[in-house]
Structure formats: structure tokens, C-alpha cells
Amino acid sequence: MITAADLARLKIKRTIFHDVPNRPKILETKVILADLETKIDVGKAKILYDRITQVLGSKHAYTMHFSPAPATKVPDEVRAFTSKDRTTEEFISMSRELANYLFAQHTGATSPGLLCVMEVAVGQKRGIAVLKLERQEGAEIKFSGEEGKRVFDFDVLENLILTDKTRLFKSALFVRTAPGDDDFDSHGCDSQGPGTSEDVARFWLTYLGCQLAEEPRVSTRKWFDASLAFANEEIGDPVQMNDFYEHIHSELKSNRKNVSPKQFIEDYVPAPLRVPYKKFLEEHRVSLQAFGKDISEIKTRLRKKAFHTSHGISVTVPEEEENLVKVKADQIVVHDNLVSVDHK
């Protein structure tokens, strides 16, 4: 799992851009590949760093891992390149292969874009970052240099592509953690559209040869369990605890297809509890990244049963705790501790 601390330590070592068009049926198009890496100074590296950490640290980012049966050879390229220190020529060759694999996945309906491939490091760990940048309508991108020495001019990219309005709508980061083929921390992001796990899986994960790290039902249960544990252990105010419970239930019973813990914190968690809650989730190995919602494992725990009396009194209880309520002919007895009284 890539954390905020990992993103803070990320360093960009090499960068290259390739132009990857779509593939309309009636026209023949091809990838425009760079021959040389794009040289960037500290200021330009900061622009790219801000972009990649922004999107990969956003609510649209998902933890992923290599698929056992990938549709492309992207995992092979990532594994091979990060297995040891590589030369500039090896970096360029690897990036060109990634661009060709992306073009092979394109259709006439796929948005064209610039593929930015970066060799990165997180501390002593080697890694690769991939960004697909949307080309602004009417923007003409040209190579500089003669045949065999073609390179994108970053000044052109900075003015026309890397503006505040640019959408880095598909991104990925692979960080090698150990020598094994699957020893990677990896995140993927698709900030185009609603940002659900289904949207990511449809195209970007296929190209990357990856799948989401956890099944949605597992991620949903882990977040639910950890959130309830946090409320019980860390929230002392009964009213705050009740509100926290209600927000969790509302989030899981809503029509939204995914859950973003980061967005949940921003929307519903009181400011003094935000840092402790984030820390609690991380300690319990619950990612702050968004995940597809699947309540199948906790469905019964979200159900509630209501008992109504002839005098208009209602008692609501979680269905799995129904045994705490004893119903007799002339009375209802609740076997539980009173923690708060709401006046409405």
C-alpha cells in the first residue's frame, strides 16, 4: 500500500513523453514515439511531482496488483526495469514499449493523449510512474530534433498541456519493495468520470495488466469494522458516537457505487477526530483510497428492526441485536445501557 509518506518521498529521475492517438476504423494512425528523454530542471520536476502526487493521493486512486493473466506485457516491463539500475537507453526502450501497448488497447472511442513515463524512486526503492494526459482540443504537439533524436519540448507541454485545467485522467505508480515478481506497492487512478472501481477496471487496469488489490466486499467489511472499532474506542461523546454511526450506515446504504474514506473524513468526521481516525485506519491496514462498495458480508449488520407501540413509541434496533429487545403482551423491555437521550 502506497501511503502519503511514500508520495512525499517520491523523486523523479527520468521523464519521457510519447503521443498516443486513438484508432478510428476508417483512418490509419500510429504512435509518435520520442527518441530521447525530456530533460527537466528542478522547477519542471516539481510540476510533474505535484501532478502525480495530487492524483495518486486523491479519492479516485485505488490499490492494485499485477493480474495473474495480464492482457498486456506492461507487468513484464515494470518487473524487468525495476529489477536493477538501468541506463537511459534502457529507460527509453521500456517507455516506447509501454506506449505501443497502450496504443494497442485504444479504439476509436478512446481519448487520445500524451503518455508520460517516469523512472522514480521512493527512498531506496525503484519505481515507474505512468501518466496519460488528455490533449487539449486544438493543441498541436510537435517533436523537436532530427530523426533519431526526437524529443518533446517540456516548455510546450508546460504551456499547452500541464496547465491547471489539464486532466491527468489516468495514472499509475509501481514501487518495487523486494526482489520477487509481485513485490510491488501499486496504485492506479482514473479521474475521468465518476471514478468508480468499475470505470478503472474497464480500460486502464486492462492496459496496466493489473487488478484491484482487494475484492470490494473485503474492503467494505474492513472499513466498516475499523470504523466501528474507532467509534467504540476513541469517541467518548455519546452524541458524536451516534452521529458517526449514522454517517457510516448512510454511506453504506446510499446508491453510490464506491466508498472514499478520504471523502468520508472531509464530509462527516469532526476536525479534531480526522487525524486520529486516519491513523487508526492505517494501523488497521485499511487504505484511505477509494474502493468499490459491496455490503454482501455486512448486509445483516446494516439492517434495523423497528418496534412500534399503541401510544406512538418506537424502538429501533440493529437486526443482529434483536435479542436485546423482549416483546411481551403489554410491554417492551430493552436489555442495554443508555448512553444518550435525544430531544427532537
Q: Where are the domains of the chain?
A: 4-212, 216-292, 303-334
pLDDT at 281: 93
**Sequential DSSP letters for 207-246:** HHTEEESS-HHHHHHHHHHHHHHHHHHH---HHHHHHHHH
pLDDT at 124: 95
What's the sign of the alpha-carbon dihedral 123, 50, 215, 242? positive
How far is 309 from 321, CA to CA, in rounded Å? 19
pLDDT at 194: 39
Highest mean pLDDT among 87-101, 301-315, 328-342: 87-101
pLDDT at 152: 76
Answer whether residue 88 shows pLDDT above 90.
yes
Q: What is the pLDDT of residues 160-213, one digit of tens each?
A: 555 555 555 689 999 999 999 999 999 988 765 434 445 455 788 899 999 887
Q: What is the pLDDT of residues 19-61, one digit of tens each?
A: 888 777 667 778 889 999 988 888 888 888 988 888 888 767 8
What percent of the chain stands above pLDDT 70? 76
Higher model confidence: residue 199 or residue 122?
Answer: 122
How far is 269 from 281, CA to CA, in rounded Å? 13
The DSSP 8-state label assigned to residue 148 in this structure reads T
How far is 312 from 310, CA to CA, in rounded Å? 6
Mean per-residue pLDDT for 324-334?
60
Higher model confidence: residue 121 or residue 312?
Answer: 121
pLDDT at 14: 95
Range with the lowest mean pLDDT among 195-199, 255-259, 303-307?
A: 195-199
Q: What is the pLDDT of residues 221-249, one digit of tens each?
A: 999 999 989 988 998 887 888 888 889 98
At 334, the pLDDT band (50, 70, 90 cuts) reads: low
